[in-house]
């Protein structure tokens, strides 16, 4: 099992770790700050340093069981099993993903009552697909989204008993990705205050600590992708 430091410390950019597995398929560490691709968010890239060598990590993905696999190029140097490494992510890329992922939660909060049928987080642009018969007005969505960002709402994660989904199944907005069950606990991301949150959803991704950190967002386009599918693409306005 790889300890996932990013779940509770999303702003941590590096950590020391011990190599558990090392091979052409990738490197497994006992702990990591590298987010593994999932839920529409890309895996982190970065570098591993150790005594006598270093290797770029192209992307972190989910490995066998609870392991996270740090993918390397075909000709990359590999640290020996048991070596202590310094694992450092590409922070600029990660932070861009954090800002956009949080903006997507805000966008989801604006499209009330519609299930999310798909989505993808990107540093330059991101998208969410909604089960909607008609497209919402683009200008209104953009204005409301930026108002939520400017309000600088707090963003927090919390662990709860997974049975909360049995009593409140409406917490899950996504049809394509369901939160994992069986561990006994569930990670919720809350935007806003405890009593009347702007958004509250199960999520294993990384997020900024306040919505103001996102910065201005523009709605690039709203497309019809089927009879009941509306795709909203957003991007940083700067």
pLDDT in tens, 198-231: 999 999 999 999 999 999 999 999 999 888 899 9
- Is 0.85 surpassed by the pTM of this model? yes
Exposed e or buried b for every residue in 161-172, given b needs 16+ CB within 10 A?
ebeebeeeeeee
Instruction: Tell me what pLDDT residue 113 has.
Output: 87
| Helix residue ranges per DSSP H, 69-213 | 91-110, 138-150, 164-167
Mean pLDDT of 21-39: 95
Mean pLDDT of 141-166: 94
pLDDT exceeds cutoff 70 at 108: yes
* Calpha distance 33→36 (Å, rounded): 9
Instruction: Tell me what pLDDT residue 182 has.
Output: 61
Sheet with strand 14-23: strands edge to edge: 53-57, 46-50, 84-89, 14-23, 26-29, 68-71, 59-62
Instruction: Tell me what pLDDT residue 227 has.
Output: 85
Instruction: Tell me what pLDDT residue 162 has.
Output: 85
* Calpha distance 72→143 (Å, rounded): 42
Long-range contact set of residues 118-125: C-beta below 8 Å, sequence gap at least 24: 118/40, 118/176, 119/40, 119/174, 119/176, 120/40, 121/40, 121/41, 121/42, 121/97, 121/205, 122/42, 122/97, 123/93, 123/96, 123/97, 124/96, 124/235, 124/236, 125/100, 125/220, 125/233, 125/234, 125/235
Domain locations in the chain?
3-89, 94-236
pLDDT exceeds cutoff 90 at 29: yes
Bridge partner list, 185? 161
Mean pLDDT of 149-168: 91
**CATH code, residues 94-236:** 3.30.980.10
Report the percentage of the chain scoring pLDDT > 70. 97
Instruction: Tell me what pLDDT residue 60 has.
Output: 98
pLDDT in tens, 167-209: 787 788 776 666 665 677 889 999 999 899 999 999 999 999 9
* Fold of the CATH domain 3-89: Elongation Factor Tu (Ef-tu); domain 3 (2.40.30)
Exposed e or buried b for every residue in 2-30, given b needs 16+ CB within 10 A?
bebbbeeebeebebebebeebeeebbbbe
Indicate the DSSP class of residue 42.
P
* Calpha distance 97→79 (Å, rounded): 28
- Whether the domain at 3-89 and the domain at 94-236 fall into the same CATH topology: no
Instruction: Tell me what pLDDT residue 175 has.
Output: 65
pLDDT in tens, 60-98: 999 999 999 999 998 899 999 999 999 999 999 999 999
């Amino acid at each position: 099992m790889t300890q996932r430091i990013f779940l509770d410390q999303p702003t941590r950019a590096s950590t020391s770790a011990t190599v558990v597995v090392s091979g052409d398929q990738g490197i497994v560490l006992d702990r990591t700050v590298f987010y593994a691709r999932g839920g529409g968010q890309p895996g982190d890239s970065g570098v591993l340093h150790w005594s006598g060598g270093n290797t770029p990590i192209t992307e972190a993905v989910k490995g066998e069981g609870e392991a996270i696999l740090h993918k390397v190029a075909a000709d990359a140097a590999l640290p020996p099993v048991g070596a202590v490494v310094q694992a450092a992510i590409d922070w600029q890329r990660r932070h861009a993903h954090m800002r956009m992922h949080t903006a997507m939660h805000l966008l989801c909060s604006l499209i009330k009552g519609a299930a999310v049928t798909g989505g993808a987080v990107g540093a330059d642009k991101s998208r969410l697909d909604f089960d909607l018969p008609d497209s919402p007005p683009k200008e209104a969505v953009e204005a409301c989204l930026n108002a939520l960002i400017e309000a600088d709402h707090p963003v927090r994660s919390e662990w709860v008993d997974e049975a909360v989904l049995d009593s409140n199944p409406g917490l899950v907005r996504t049809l394509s990705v369901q939160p994992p069950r069986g561990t006994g606990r569930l990670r919720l991301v809350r935007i806003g205050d405890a009593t009347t949150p702007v958004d509250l959803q199960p999520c294993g991704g990384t997020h900024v600590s306040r919505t103001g950190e996102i910065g201005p967002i523009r709605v690039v386009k709203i497309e019809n992708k089927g009879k009941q599918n509306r795709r909203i693409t957003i991007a940083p306005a700067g």
